[in-house]
Structure 1
Amino acid sequence: MATTTTQGARTPEIDVPGEDAVTQLTWAVEELRLAESRLSRRRQASCGPGHSEREAMRFIAERADAGKPPTPTELATHLGLTTPSVSAIVRRLQDGGLISTRQHEEDKRSKLLEPASRNSPDTADGLAPSIRSAAADMDPGEARRLAAFLAHVRDLVDADCRD
């Protein structure tokens, strides 16, 4: 979505079809979903963390924040991937300095995965700081309403085509 500057304030310029706000918002979400899909394909081909790495980082950070760092096996179950696939993801995240591992206290054959930094969800994706900056420009009430709307859209997307 393009923006213009008017007396120092950023005013969104509507560049999606539709005469009413609901249609415009629906189109904007669809365009966002398509842009995310294009980005995912580009990243798979050449640069940046892919979808699985980003989802792994989110899971590892959430579990660490809850005081229950996951094992690679738990990560594989969460991602719905094989153990060898997850081993490759863990290796890439470690090589990138995004996670660290430590020996499991109770099961010495296993290891626990932890974020290398408390900011690791942001560092796992170079686009996140730009998104955070754009969000910081919003009115806090507006940002909360938009976050609730996007969470609802996420739930709809997650529920689609589930068995």
Structure 2
Amino acid sequence: MPDVDTLPAARAVERLRLAEARLARRRQTACGPSETARAAMRYILERADAGDPATPTDIAAHLGLATASVTGILHRLRGGGLISFVRNPDDGRSKRVVPVDRATDVEDVDPLTARIRQFAGGLTEREAEHVARFLDAVSDAVDRECT
């Protein structure tokens, strides 16, 4: 049986999961790109900033999806004018995914992530480590569910 003092953390995670489910439903209908497309775009921007543009295979591996699923996401992002494809100079058979406008800030693509990072900035290093370990354990449990 969990310690009574730890139940608020479990309740907070449940509230978070419900809020994320509501957000996912809203984003499917009225709020722009899906969460997966936003995650792909964040990854594309981060890789571009690192000077190592991503390939569709890289993006699929990062998202834990099949490359075929990512292809549809990338075509929608390209149709929205957010990305383009360029020939991979290291492998002529593949392409790299690059942002069209590198002035685009990751935080503009997903303002929620910017707000979460702002909240995290208010934590001490020790608090951040504790929260990260807890959330990593929750993420692992979610990933193991129904497998």
TM range (shorter): 0.7 to 0.9
2:12, 2:89 → 1: CA distance? 48
Percent of aligned pairs with the same amino acid: 41
- Which one has a larger percent helix, Structure 1 or Structure 2? 2
Task: Report the equivalent of 1:154.
Answer: 139
- Contact (CA 8 Å) 2:87, 2:96: kept in 1 or not? yes
5+ long unaligned stretches in structure 2? none
1:89 is matched by which residue type in structure 2? I
Asked which structure has the greater RCO (Cα within 8 Å, sep 6+), the reply is 2
- Contact (CA 8 Å) 2:54, 2:98: kept in 1 or not? yes
Aligned residues: 140
Give CA deviations for 1:112-140 in whole Å, capped at 9, x if unaligned. 11356497543331211111222222223
- Which one has a larger percent strand, Structure 1 or Structure 2? 1
5+ long unaligned stretches in structure 1? 1-18
**Alignment RMSD (CA, Å):** 3.1
2:17, 2:110 → 1: CA distance? 17
1:34, 1:90 → 2: CA distance? 28
- Call closer, same or farther: CA 1:66–1:26 in 2, change over 3 Å: farther
- Contact (CA 8 Å) 1:100, 1:113: kept in 2 or not? yes
Task: Report the equivalent of 1:80.
Answer: 66
Task: Report the equivalent of 2:9.
Answer: 25
Structure 1 or 2, whichever has the larger Rg, is: 1
Report the more deviating stretch, 86-95 or 127-136. 86-95
